[in-house]
Amino acid sequence: MTADVAGPEVELVARRRRVRRRTDSATVAMRVWAGLVYLFLYLPILFVVIYSFNRGRRLTIWQGLGTRWYSSAIDNESIRAALSVSLRVAALTAIVSVILGSMAGIALARRGGGWTKPFLVLLFMILVTPEIVDGIAFLIWFVRLDLDLPIARYVIGHSIFSSAVVTLIVRARLSGVDESLEEAAADLGAPPLRAFREITLPLMMPAVVAGALLSFTFSLDDVIISNFVSIAGQFTLPNFIFSKLRVGLTGDLAAISTIMLCLTLLALAVAAFVLRRAGGTAEEVTATLTGG
């Protein structure tokens, strides 16, 4: 009797081991494949970073470690001017996007109604519209308005997308916060402005900071819209690099590209840290940073 019972149990254990072994093999294979895909995607970036430290005169011929190209990039007046434009535009874009996005996010989370769904559809249309379409539209609009202020053109063009991102982040943050805290402040006699300053704003501050950092990053990296709305003599750094690439990738461009990459990764890391500290899961943080 015992042998009859033991037989099916042994067979069941053996079957489970075979299934687990096949699952483990598939998992390892998928991880190896994912690693190869990431290597294929990011190897060109790694190449630029490594060869920005090339000491030789030609970028593609390795002649030892050196920082001459970083010194050359810093001493280049055109690069400094383009970097100055990019930083000013990115800072102003972050400010405008945070103001507009925060107000829209608060309205969506606290004053919902029949307008909510159409407004969300508009936001998602902004997020999925190809940048080249936005760039052409901005170009036509600015020409009709006869707007010749280059910084204003950049800020308006960059703020549309960033404001939508900030709106969704702030809405998600406030949707998870009980409105009873603000109602209690009102019951105790706090004016709306004071209740906002002392209750709502501290609660939504992680989302505001993360939105500002993302807006700064998106503006700093933008190429397509900046290319359409730019005016001669006022170029952002990505457009300056893009224009110089037509004659080849030089060491100073590789160096400044590496610096921009580090700035972007730093801003994204800080934004991810702020969102995680605010209670967001890893999946939510990833979706926010990737526009999901």
Ordered DSSP codes for 132-172: HHHHHHHHHHHHHHT---HHHHHHHHHHHHHHHHHHHHHHH
Residue numbers of the chain with a pLDDT score lower than 50: 1-3, 5, 291-292
Distance separating alpha carbons of residues 43 and 122, to the nearest angstrom: 37
CATH level 3 topology of 70-289: MetI-like fold (1.10.3720)
Collapse the DSSP code of 271 into the 3-class scheme (helix H, G, I; strand E, B; otherwise coil) and give the result. Answer: helix
Helices (H) and strands (E) in the chain, counts: 13, 0
CB-based burial label for 159 (10 Å; 0-12, 13-18, 19+): buried
Residue 21: predicted pLDDT: 56
Please give the pLDDT value at position 291. Answer: 47
Termini Cα distance of the chain: 59
Distance of alpha carbon 23 from alpha carbon 13, whole angstroms: 15
Strand, helix or coil for residue 106: helix
CA atoms of 29 and 20, how far apart (whole Å): 14
pLDDT of residue 79: 85
Q: What pLDDT, in 10s, does the model give residues 79-110?
A: 888 888 999 999 999 999 999 999 999 888 88
d(CA 7, CA 11): 6
The C-alpha atoms of residue 80 and residue 70 are separated, in whole angstroms, by 12
